[in-house]
Amino acid sequence: MYIELVKHPDVFLRSVSKDVPFPLDDKTERLTKYMARAMYQHHGIGLAAIQVGYQLRMFVMDCTRAQESPQVFINPVIVKNSEETLTDFEGCLSAPGKRGEVKRYLRIVLKYQDKEGAEHQKTFYDLEARCIQHEMDHLEGRLCIDYEKGEYSRDKHKSQTMVESDFRVKHNT
Ligand SMILES: [Zn+2]
């Protein structure tokens, strides 16, 4: 089954996602698996719920080569970050063919919940830290292509063409 992603410049990607209530209902539980499938199908290392049509504060990530151990992060919050940053180019599954030059912290401490609702606090480095910061932007309606020379640009965000959402959630029953 081919999973369609919400794509830029769809205005839906600009919405701010909401907290996920616990205990997870069956639908949200299924959604985490669906997100992982979508991530692998599109050869990404991370994917936020908004990219498959749900305004929920959760994302999946797998930066391993094997691509068989997706991690699920629910209601994530960055509680600490390094002084050191790195500016590099990033792409997004929701903006194919485009890229942004984005400054990210090299190291972050993330607080999040797993599917059972248990709280975790963990330090992430380098590629994982970058990927998490990219996904956290999705939860706020931001995209990596909004950045200019490393910095987030409100003007660029605004100037990106906004079109009415034509995304249909096909599995939203
Ligand atoms: Zn993205």
Helix, strand, or coil here: 73? strand
- pTM, whole model, 2 decimals? 0.93
> Does an H or E element contain 104, and which?
strand 100-105
Helix, strand, or coil here: 170? coil
Tokens encoding 84: 């050191």
C-alpha 7 – ligand 1 centre gap (Å): 10
Helix, strand, or coil here: 168? coil
To the query of whether residue 135 is one of the catalytic residues in this protein, the response is yes
- The predicted pLDDT at position 66 comes to 85
C-alpha 103 – ligand 1 centre gap (Å): 15
C-alpha 133 – ligand 1 centre gap (Å): 10
Q: Which residue has tokens 């699920």? A: 72
pLDDT tens figures, 109-122: 999 999 999 999 99
Q: Which residue has tokens 């910095």? A: 151
- The predicted pLDDT at position 173 comes to 37
C-alpha 150 – ligand 1 centre gap (Å): 16
Tokens encoding 21: 């209530």
pLDDT tens figures, 50-94: 999 999 999 999 999 888 899 999 999 999 999 999 999 999 999
Q: Active site residue: 128, 135, 140, 148, which one?
A: 135
Say how far apart CA 123 and CA 142 lie, in whole Å. Answer: 23
